[in-house]
Amino acid sequence: MTEQQPAPENPEGDEPIKQRKNGLYPAVSDELAANMKTGWADTELRDLQPVEQAPHTARRRAELSARFPGERLVIPAGNLKTRSNDTEYSFRASTEYVYLTGDQTQDGVLVLEPAGAEGHRATLYLLPRSDRENGEFWLDGQGELWVGRRHSLSEAEQLLGLPAKDVRELTEALRTATGPVRAVRGHDAGIEEALTDKVTAERDEELRVFISEQRLVKDAFEVGELQKAVDSTVRGFEDVVRVLDKAEATSERYIEGTFFLRARVEGNDIGYGSICAAGPHATTLHWVRNDGAVRSGDLLLLDAGVETNSLYTADVTRTLPINGTYNDLQRKIYDAVYEAQEAGIAAVKPGAKYRDFHDAAQRVLAEKLVEWGLVEGPVERILELGLQRRWTLHGTGHMLGLDVHDCAVARTETYVDGVLEPGMVLTVEPGLYFQADDTTVPEEYRGIGVRIEDDILVTEDGNRNLSAALPRTSADVEAWMASLKG
């Protein structure tokens, strides 16, 4: 990785460009500085077409405006976070900002200014292209020659359908602003500092909750992006099955890297840390260390999702026999989870309570645990006391979208205690997990974990399984794996 070189202070009196303490060049000569200002072609992009989600983001902003009339609304994208010394984590813009703008650039801020009868005027505050006059473009660590070109303000306006201004002027404007203000917190400390005497935690939380609830029902663009994410995820699972022999020779990390390749080639990234849990690691719900052995005869619980370039993510799980065939006990447990998932999916329909699919799946799993003699019935008692949770552990699903656990700050009455509507997308993912040290179950159960997860769209007349292209029954999984390996 090359080193950024230091620069002198900007002669126009702006803040000096950030310098590296131990750079090899102590200074920039006047002659070099002058040379670097000239001889560059005009690369401005013209006649750009709006991004696909532009009409959808405009509608979302209009809904937001109607909810908070007369108030200034501030939604930041967020800033880079340092990983180590002068290297940063990959940037991922805040969900609220992406949802309302379609933009993904660091340091961006959406501001909705009250405009009387017109509602609000929306302005996007962005970093303009890096300055060639003061040397920023080649001397600053975030300059164009270091990290790549960013859009000019004019280009951003064409792409996003919003007027754009220089974000470096925003903090001062916010400090002197009057009237009620709400902001999405937790992403941009500078913006929050500028608003410190103008906002309250209660008002800001109401804004965040409203935007979360806006996302409960997906529009056509969002459903299309989620289907793209799922389709790429299916191909990623196929990739993994084809290289299980290589994973056996190395570790779970081979599985993780294989899926990650598909995510980066066909999308933006993985939507969350991939769970590549072989053997007893499958009983750890969020096993993301992925450093364990992959052994023939064990199960692989693969929970992974591709994130599209628009940042919508899939979330799919399959539990696969590493050697291609379930043994009798593995099959019994897998088939029980499949039966529970079938019951859960059947309960997903418009007008149903959100909790219905969870209750349906949990009932099946409780019945199986009683049938196998692992817990004493009756089933109603088991469910009332939640005794099945020793082996089922988690809820049976969650909303899905820009976040893998989407709409997480929505009010309980509109989410968990709410009613399903067409356009909602949620996961259905029951599981059974028998810990390796659980002495309440027979020894042969210990260390077996099974989860099956699919992404389900609520439709006008029922539901559609977006991830139906991945086999689910134990027999179909075995046949699918054989076809890929063959």
Q: What is the pLDDT of residue 22?
A: 81
Same domain, 289 and 351: yes
Phi then psi dihedrals of residue 69, to 5 deg: -65, 140
pLDDT band, residue 9 (cuts 50/70/90): very low
* Residue-number span of the structural domain to which 69 is assigned: 54-127+148-214
How far lies 234's CA from each of 46, 230, 304, in Å? Answer: 38, 6, 10
- Has residue 196 been placed in a domain? yes
- Has residue 227 been placed in a domain? yes
Q: What is the pLDDT of residue 12?
A: 42
Contact criterion met (CB below 8 Å) for 251 and 292: yes
- Has residue 38 been placed in a domain? no
Structure tokens belonging to residue 351: 């007008």
Give the amino acid at 68.
F
Residues 270-309 have pLDDT tens digits of: 999 999 999 999 999 999 999 999 999 999 999 999 999 9
Q: What is the pLDDT of residue 8?
A: 46
Strand arrangement, sheet containing 275-278: 275-278, 299-304, 316-321
CA gap 398, 279 in Å, rounded: 26
Structure tokens belonging to residue 52: 């696909």
Q: What is the pLDDT of residue 21?
A: 78
- Has residue 82 been placed in a domain? yes
- Angle (CA) 433-435-438 rounded to 5° is 125
Cα end-to-end span (Å), the chain = 42
- Has residue 8 been placed in a domain? no
Same domain, 228 and 304: yes
Contact criterion met (CB below 8 Å) for 109 and 191: yes
Same domain, 224 and 204: no
Which of 214, 233, 262 is the last residue before a domain boundary?
214
Average pLDDT over residues 48-62: 97
pLDDT band, residue 37 (cuts 50/70/90): very high
Which of 214, 230, 264 is the last residue before a domain boundary?
214
Same domain, 180 and 228: no
CA gap 335, 220 in Å, rounded: 34
Contact criterion met (CB below 8 Å) for 345 and 465: yes
Give the relative orientation of helices 153-160 and 54-67 as an angle to the nearest 10 degrees: 90
CA gap 264, 349 in Å, rounded: 34
Average pLDDT over residues 398-424: 98
In our burial notation (b when 16+ CB lie closer than 10 A, e otherwise), range 20-32 reads eeeeeeeebeeee
Which of 214, 229, 244 is the last residue before a domain boundary?
214
Q: What is the pLDDT of residue 193?
A: 97
pLDDT band, residue 384 (cuts 50/70/90): very high
Average pLDDT over residues 5-30: 67
Same domain, 302 and 191: no
- Has residue 84 been placed in a domain? yes
Is the model's pLDDT at 243 over the cut of 70?
yes
Same domain, 428 and 306: yes
Is the model's pLDDT at 17 over the cut of 80?
no
Quote the percentage of the chain above a pLDDT of 90.
Answer: 92
What are the residues whose beta carbons fall under 8 Å from the beta carbon of 442, sequence distance 6 or more?
A: none
If residue 236 lies in a helix (H) or strand (E), which one and from where to where? helix 220-242
Is the model's pLDDT at 179 over the cut of 50?
yes
Instruction: Identify the CATH number of the domain in which residue 72 sits.
Output: 3.40.350.10
pTM reported for the whole predicted model: 0.95
How many independent structural domains does the chain possess?
Answer: 2
Phi then psi dihedrals of residue 59, to 5 deg: -65, -40
Same domain, 208 and 234: no
Instruction: Identify the CATH number of the domain in which residue 375 sits.
Output: 3.90.230.10
CA atoms within 13 A of residue 144's CA, in its CB half-sphere: 18
